[in-house]
Structure 1
Amino acid sequence: MQEKILILDFGSQFTQLIARRVRELRIYCEIHPFNNFPEIDGSVKGIILSGSPYSVRQDDAPHFDFRKFHGKLPILGVCYGAQYLAHFNGGEVLPSSTREYGRANLQYINHDNPLLKMIPADSQVWMSHGDTIASLADDYEVIASTDSVRVAAYHVRGSQTYGIQFHPEVTHSVDGSQLLHNFLVDICGCAQDWAPDSFIETTIAQLKEKLGNDKVVLGLSGGVDSSVAAVLLHHAIGANLHCIFVDNGLLRKDEFELVLDSYKHMGLNIRGIDAKQRFYDALAGLTDPEKKRKAIGRVFIEVFDDAAHEVQDVKWLGQGTIYPDVIESVSVKGPSATIKSHHNVGGLPDFMKLKVVEPLNTLFKDEVRNVGKALGIDPNILGRHPFPGPGLAIRILGEITPEKVQILQEADAIYINNLRAAGVYDKVWQAGAIYLPVQSVGVMGDERTYENVVCLRAVESLDGMTADWCHLPYELLAKISNEIINNVKGINRVVYDISSKPPATIEWE
């Protein structure tokens, strides 16, 4: 039985980050809404309570019965979690005189307490709260303080229950990983045996048992997630996996042929389908981004369903769903209103009558790459930048035409090839060119031109949730701009996007 840590989510923006930090310590964990968590069995080694945008003093604040766990399992309350445990168990939480947000230092540390073992004096931590713990019950003891926060950390005597006012999961808390190690390994007794190899072995065995001799169809995209999912399924069921790679006419230059070839070299049972015209016909006249997405999603399902019907007795649809997608779909606030229509977790029309298998739905993106590396998947696939499901359709602002697609494919290829040649492609989280519905005057030779603008976008990120624009060398940007303007007919101006996320997004649509 795989041991695990449960993280109860109260709606904090940092909840996923807690899970990532736990996984980095080779310990498996799961995030569950505070009001919908599973039965506790022998595999659960401890519980972490997340932060929250709520105050414990609000009438609609999230509530849960912590007494069913207290004294039975180690508990670590973080920020709201710590305030909740204090406020509803004999202590008091009050508004802070000033909102405490940002770096602070632990002036007092009780090094005899196991939670704070090896945390140095004056350790920097990250605060983010509008309330403060004003008093504690008699059986609570303060184990850390800053110059302005008396109860920066506490311990409930005679138990393994702890609370911390700061966020150990963010990098600004310099010794946060050590504190989490102390809680997870020393207090909870986790074995730190969660690793790609153990995941692969366990998952393949589970897939064999679950699928038996059934047939599975899976839509490949050329990206990391679907590729790793395909190889895991291939190891489990071999030729009973039928992969389909659809050319929607919105891929990067030569991508259909190159990716199809690489998949065949991996031994996958794959069929390529040229459906470019069907997608172009569906997109004709559409300019609204959401309408474009829905048209692409509808046609993809139609094409995929036609191909799936050619496989006799298929019973399962394989998907490359990863853990952040699952978390988003069962978040405390319900499925996010901002989730894009092409990114449905386990979503498929009723008429397909297929059961869904998602072998990666417990992994984060970096973990998927580690599993892919352990499986021996081509590094060019594993290192590929994220590419949107609707492809170049959301990098062409306005109506989609084959001519615009070809122009953008050429410009994008020059951009990406130059990033590779300069040795910076792998240092960039995501890069791509955007075709703008803007024409500008130019001079080429002795002639005036009135042609379109291409915008280059490159960002640095850890997980895509936030991103900063890449400071590419001016010389490299000049070289790329010169090559695009000289070689791509229809473009006479190149600009570079220096917006960060937030407030901008990585993609333009």
Structure 2
Amino acid sequence: MATEQILILDFGSQYTQLIARRVRELNVYCEIHPYNHLPEITSAVKGIILSGSPSSVRDADAPTVDLNALRHQAPVLGLCYGAQLMAQSSGGEVKPSSIREYGRVKLGTVNDQNPLLHGIDQHSQVWMSHADTIMTVPDNFNVIASTDTVRVAAFQIEGEQTYGIQFHPEVTHSLQGKVLLRNFVVDICGCSQSWTADSFVESTVAQLKEKLGDDKVVMGLSGGVDSSVAATLIHRAIGANLYCIFVDNGVLRKDEFEDVLESYKELGLNVKGVDSKQQFYGALTGLTDPEAKRKAIGKTFIDVFDQEAHLIEDVSWLGQGTIYPDVIESVSVKGPSATIKSHHNVGGLPDFMKLKVVEPLNTLFKDEVRAVGKTLGLPDTILGRHPFPGPGLAIRILGDITAEKVQILQEVDALFINGLKREGLYDKVWQAGAILLPIQSVGVMGDERTYERVVALRAVTSVDGMTADWAHLPYEFLADISNEIINKVKGVNRVVYDISSKPPATIEWE
């Protein structure tokens, strides 16, 4: 994918994806790999970053790698756990901290003559998060930064481009963290910062032409950013040999089927629309468990998609809009992880389809996908569209799915989304939607008592969807939307607003 890259070894830290985001922001390509699935380290790997971890290096089963081998192949930067692992494996001592350092801390002394710390101010604020601390280091470890309570806040191994720091430069609370990472990635590792949206499009289209040749590709479109950008890349490589299918699963947003088909016409994509609402409603009948609903929708989609794909002769490939967070969240550092929710883009192909998979975006984060889409000339109506879950409104209707519930939620959602657009709030929000709750509440309309449905509105701000904060929408706007929903949508008499952040909550309710 790229001529040069930074390799990030993941030991299970909650911040690992943030490290990748910061490196990508420097226009340098990087990949995350679990520490126990080390890829081949080729000449393209210009540097290696070791992540933090919830584990302790003192544990009997502490995750580890052959650091001696890594140190002789490329510059290495250990963050928190990574630094402690380096120190301990070289004969240093790591012990439980007498005072747990968590949160904002000021560096006490900084050797700003060291290449890693060029431009880092004395007393610079950093973010600590560790229960262990490095007490002693071997003689060939030079301490280059300290805090009032941590003597070894940063070190370099003498004669090597090997560094360790006990704080987290990837989080925004480390005010000069980007400076430190740039020092490592650009100055120490020598990366050229040439990985841009333009270069990605150029290299990816060339690779797709070589990979696909004259083969035919079939692809399911959703109207969202990911599948639209992926389809445009593939179309640019193979033209009319790309066949796109857009399935109406009955749980799309209001008028979405017609609107999306119209927008794809403008892109010149060969798209067939398939109305399968009743088939999906049949598969969802009586299901209330979120995973059961996801699986029913996934299976029905594959059935419909397979039937349509068979109408196209000699198809060899399935195109997918899988993006990097989907891939990362589906790989665990220590074997199978607890399933938060099924990713509809990852690993869902049955054997009988016999198609090879092409995923041109599976190394990109969401904001990078948008940048690539802009380079490709996609309209803002697609690029600026909020993320929408693969199972659609089925996971925003808590409980069983009926056509009546879908219609109610479509109306509520349309009022909410159109209101955000009307008030200039839509582009300030990462994702918004409405949730139909499985409860009813007492209300009064006119002189009559009502007992009707409750809807929750959800809007969040985020950069890449991995973390999110609830959107602080104006009270006046929320009041107007609440009134509009209750007045215009029959069957709803109460509106609530979700003020939960991710974590601990997820963006979607199911």
With normalisation by structure 1, the TM-score equals: 0.98
Secondary structure in 1 matching 2:505: coil
Residue identity matched to 2:327? V
Shift of 1:454: 1.2
Within 1, Cα distance between the matches of 2:439 and 2:71?
62
Shift of 1:438: 1.5
Q: How does 1:489-500 map to 2 (within 5 A)?
A: 489-500=490-501
1:27-57 deviations in Å (ceiling 9; x for gaps)? 0111111121221111111111111111111
Shift of 1:500: 2.1
Q: How does 1:406-445 map to 2 (within 5 A)?
A: 406-445=407-446
Within 2, Cα distance between the matches of 1:2 and 1:169?
24
1:94-153 deviations in Å (ceiling 9; x for gaps)? 110021110111110111111100111111000000111000111111000011110000
> Which segment is superposed worse, 345-354 or 17-26?
345-354
Match for residue 483 of structure 1?
Answer: 484
Q: How does 1:28-177 map to 2 (within 5 A)?
A: 28-177=29-178
Within 2, Cα distance between the matches of 1:479 and 1:499?
21
Indicate if the aligned counterparts of 2:320 and 2:345 stay in contact, CA closer than 8 A: no
Match for residue 246 of structure 1?
Answer: 247
Within 1, Cα distance between the matches of 2:330 and 2:485?
40
Within 1, Cα distance between the matches of 2:129 and 2:407?
48
Indicate if the aligned counterparts of 2:95 and 2:132 stay in contact, CA closer than 8 A: yes
Indicate if the aligned counterparts of 2:326 and 2:343 stay in contact, CA closer than 8 A: no
Within 1, Cα distance between the matches of 2:503 and 2:51?
23
Match for residue 329 of structure 2?
Answer: 328
Does the alignment pair 1:187 with 2:191? no
Shift of 1:350: 0.3
1:425-452 deviations in Å (ceiling 9; x for gaps)? 1111111111112122222223222211
> Which segment is superposed worse, 447-456 or 421-430?
447-456
Residue identity matched to 1:61? A
RMSD across aligned positions (CA): 1.1
Within 1, Cα distance between the matches of 2:386 and 2:146?
43
Residue identity matched to 1:242? Y
Match for residue 295 of structure 1?
Answer: 296
1:349-406 deviations in Å (ceiling 9; x for gaps)? 0010100000001111111111011111111111111111110011111111111111
Within 1, Cα distance between the matches of 2:308 and 2:69?
51
Within 2, Cα distance between the matches of 1:469 and 1:443?
30
The answer for unaligned runs of 5 or more in structure 1 is none
1:329-363 deviations in Å (ceiling 9; x for gaps)? 22312343224235252430001010000000111
Shift of 1:2: 1.1
Match for residue 209 of structure 1?
Answer: 210
Within 1, Cα distance between the matches of 2:328 and 2:293?
26
> Which segment is superposed worse, 159-168 or 66-75?
66-75
Secondary structure in 1 matching 2:363: coil
Within 2, Cα distance between the matches of 1:304 and 1:481?
38
Secondary structure in 1 matching 2:203: helix
Within 2, Cα distance between the matches of 1:84 and 1:422?
52
> Which segment is superposed worse, 380-389 or 62-71?
62-71
Residue identity matched to 1:497? D
1:501–1:70: structure 2 CA closer, same or farther, 3 Å change rule?
A: closer
Within 1, Cα distance between the matches of 2:268 and 2:388?
24
Match for residue 278 of structure 1?
Answer: 279
> Identity percentage over the alignment?
75
Indicate if the aligned counterparts of 1:71 and 1:161 stay in contact, CA closer than 8 A: no
Secondary structure in 2 matching 1:442: strand
Match for residue 356 of structure 1?
Answer: 357
With normalisation by structure 2, the TM-score equals: 0.98
Within 2, Cα distance between the matches of 1:71 and 1:241?
45
Q: How does 1:322-401 map to 2 (within 5 A)?
A: 322-401=323-402
Shift of 1:245: 0.4
Does the alignment pair 1:200 with 2:185? no
Within 2, Cα distance between the matches of 1:84 and 1:414?
54
Within 2, Cα distance between the matches of 1:163 and 1:230?
42
Within 2, Cα distance between the matches of 1:327 and 1:335?
12
Shift of 1:72: 3.7
Match for residue 460 of structure 1?
Answer: 461
1:465-499 deviations in Å (ceiling 9; x for gaps)? 22221221111111101111111111111111122
When the two structures are aligned, how many residues end up with a matched partner?
509
Within 2, Cα distance between the matches of 1:286 and 1:71?
56
Indicate if the aligned counterparts of 2:454 and 2:493 stay in contact, CA closer than 8 A: yes
Secondary structure in 1 matching 2:243: strand
Secondary structure in 2 matching 1:69: helix
Within 1, Cα distance between the matches of 2:347 and 2:399?
30
